[in-house]
Structure 1
Amino acid sequence: MSDFIDATLAFPAVIFTFLLVVVIGYWIVVVTGLTHLDEDLAWLGLSGVPAGVTLSLLIALAWFFSLAGGTFVDSTPLRVGVLVLAVAASWFVTKLLVKPLRRLAPAASPSRHDFVGLPCVVRTGLAGNSFGQAEVTAADGSTAVVQVRTTGADVLKRGDKALIFDYDAGGEFYYVMPDERVS
């Protein structure tokens, strides 16, 4: 057991041993629900999977490769070579592993701003500057009934087609205007 600990604390594995401890700490925090990391690592060619998963794979593999390679060499220049090879090999293997994981990653959650620019149909008797609801069809084909308001003197009737042009986060409603593309 002491040989294993010595190997994990020897160069180059010691670099990734520290990072592996950080990764384990990160996953403890994620499992307890305190935080999560949703960024994407497209700049490394590792897109489509949350950064927490990708970085965990990258660091764990680099640690393993540097630990395994470091046990076979004794000189510092060769250990530097092991470090470079461990980083390159971990990136390559992580890239291979991320491809099938992309299918398991959840799609980006829709935002209320996704409706801006879409047409809608008024569903209440009237839609004006203080009240109204309209039905909008999202890009995925699902529909939603949303709160809408007009600006100025525009008043829309049930069945009128309108265009959503802005979202008011404070009031949680969309600004609409008559859709002049339809007669």
Structure 2
Amino acid sequence: MGEFIDAVLSFPAVVFSFLLVIVVAYWLLVIFGLTDLDDDLPWLGLGGVPAGVSVSLMVALAWFFSLAGGALSLPGLLVLPVAVFAGWLGARLIALPLRRLFPNTRQPSRHDFVGLHCVIRTGQASTDFGQAEVTAADGSTAIVQVRTTGTDHLKSGDNALIFEYDADGEFFFVMPYEREH
């Protein structure tokens, strides 16, 4: 047991041992209801799984790989980045099937359409009337109310870009858009 403690407290494993203590403390807080699982971390490639789960997986795996690298007497400065990468990759692979356990609780919003391409479906779109078809990120389509700022003239079939949502009028402002193919 003494050898294990020595390995855990030696470089490079000690870096992740400290982080592992923080992870354990976090899960104790979750268990006792003092905190909740938080949002996901899509920028880590671990989207769809709460950040607490993602980071915990990453830290635990990085700790394991750094411990194994130290046990194999590999240079610590080499083991550290390899352990971080292996921890991230392992957490990403584990997170893929876990996504089904954590359904997306975020409600869709009309603001999700801002920045998307649309196609004018009425005879024209002007400052006081117009409709366009927009395709959401999930592939579904919707017909939405659109308006121009007054300087743009859009007709049926024209491509447009949704650049703002007016919550009071419940319509989107659009401008001409040349779609890249």
Q: For 2:53 and 2:14, how far apart are their aligned partners in 1? A: 21
Q: Which runs of 5+ in 1 are unaligned?
A: 117-164, 167-175, 177-183
Q: For 1:19 and 1:73, how far apart are their aligned partners in 2? A: 22
1:37 aligns with 2:37: yes
Aligned to 2:127: none
Letter in 2 for 1:49: V
SS at structure 2 position matched to 1:61:
helix
SS at structure 2 position matched to 1:53:
helix
Coordinate RMSD, CA, aligned: 2.2
Aligned to 2:52: 52
- Equivalent pairs counted in the alignment come to 115
Pairs within 5 Å for 1:84-95: 84-95=81-92
Q: Which runs of 4+ in 1 moved over 4 A?
A: none
* Deviation at residue 37 of structure 1 after TM alignment: 3.4
Task: Please list the CA deviations of residues 37-91 of structure 1 after superposition, one character each: whole Å capped at 9, or x if unmatched.
Answer: 32221111111100000000000000000001111116xxx11101111111111
Q: For 1:67 and 1:46, how far apart are their aligned partners in 2? A: 24
Q: For 1:81 and 1:110, how far apart are their aligned partners in 2? A: 44
Pairs within 5 Å for 1:1-183: 1-73=1-73, 78-110=75-107
Q: Which runs of 5+ in 2 are unaligned?
A: 112-166, 171-181
* Deviation at residue 36 of structure 1 after TM alignment: 1.6
2:38–2:50: 8 Å Cα contact kept in structure 1?
A: yes
Q: For 1:17 and 1:73, how far apart are their aligned partners in 2? A: 18
SS at structure 1 position matched to 2:102:
coil
Q: For 2:89 and 2:104, how far apart are their aligned partners in 1? A: 24
Task: Please list the CA deviations of residues 3-41 of structure 1 after superposition, one character each: whole Å capped at 9, or x if unmatched.
Answer: 000000000000000000000000000010011232221
Q: For 2:86 and 2:104, how far apart are their aligned partners in 1? A: 29
2:48–2:99: 8 Å Cα contact kept in structure 1?
A: yes
TM-score scaled by length of structure 2: 0.58
Kindly, what percent of the aligned residue pairs are identical? 55
2:54–2:91: 8 Å Cα contact kept in structure 1?
A: yes
